Amino acid sequence: MKTNLMIILLACLGIGAQAQGQTERAEHFNLDEQLAIQGYDPVAYFTAGKAQKGKKNITTSYDGVTYRFSSEENKALFEANPSKYEPAYGGWCAYAMGYDGSKVKIDPKTFKIIDGELYLFYNFYFNNTLKSWNKDEQSLHTSADKNWADILKKN
């Protein structure tokens, strides 16, 4: 009996540690109640070339982050290769990440795909940061990569 109880406790601890690792990763992502990209379909940016709202009944989770999809086909593409479709910098504004490493909200309709990776940008109050990004993309991209790596290292 004691052996069975010990096995159950160890299994629970392992599951808890795995879930905690997923939560730690997800805590850096731009989420609205665990929902990424404000419910927009991450695959549609690549397949349709535009932002499309995902459907509440077509979802999947990856490492503690929930994504919505506009179709079952897009969901299947994501599940086959999530890292291909996840937005850069946890879905935070790429320009802000490159400028000073800050986590700034985004407008899901303002995006750019660079070398097969999705970048999202702030676009509110007459300030479209995609325009600023395009003026100094190489430098901002390098800086954003470094700043994001530093954020992830803090765990």
Report the percent of the chain where pLDDT is more than 70: 83
Phi, psi of 81 (to 5 degrees): -160, 70
Measure the CA–CA gap between 53 and 22, rounded to whole angstroms. 25
Please give the full DSSP string across 108-129, using - where no structure is assigned. EEEEEEETTEEEEE-EETTEEH
Measure the CA–CA gap between 94 and 126, rounded to whole angstroms. 17
Taking alpha carbons only, the member of 30, 97, 116 closest to residue 66 is 30
pLDDT of residue 139: 98
pLDDT of residue 17: 34
Report the percent of the chain where pLDDT is more than 90: 76
**45: CB partners within 8 A, 6+ apart:** 51, 85, 111, 113, 118
Given a cut of 70, is residue 130 above it in pLDDT? yes
* 84, containing H or E segment: helix 82-85
Average pLDDT over residues 106-130: 97
> Hey, which residues does 68 pair with through a beta bridge?
59
pLDDT of residue 34: 81
Average pLDDT over residues 125-151: 97
Its pTM stands at 0.83
Who wins on pLDDT, 116 or 25? 116
6, HSE (Cβ side, Cα atoms, 13 Å)? 3
pLDDT of residue 97: 98
**114: CB partners within 8 A, 6+ apart:** 137, 141
Q: In the numeric block, which tokens belong to residue 138?
A: 């190489």
pLDDT of residue 122: 98
pLDDT of residue 27: 85
pLDDT of residue 155: 61
pLDDT of residue 24: 65
pLDDT of residue 6: 36
Taking alpha carbons only, the member of 118, 53, 55, 61 closest to residue 85 is 118
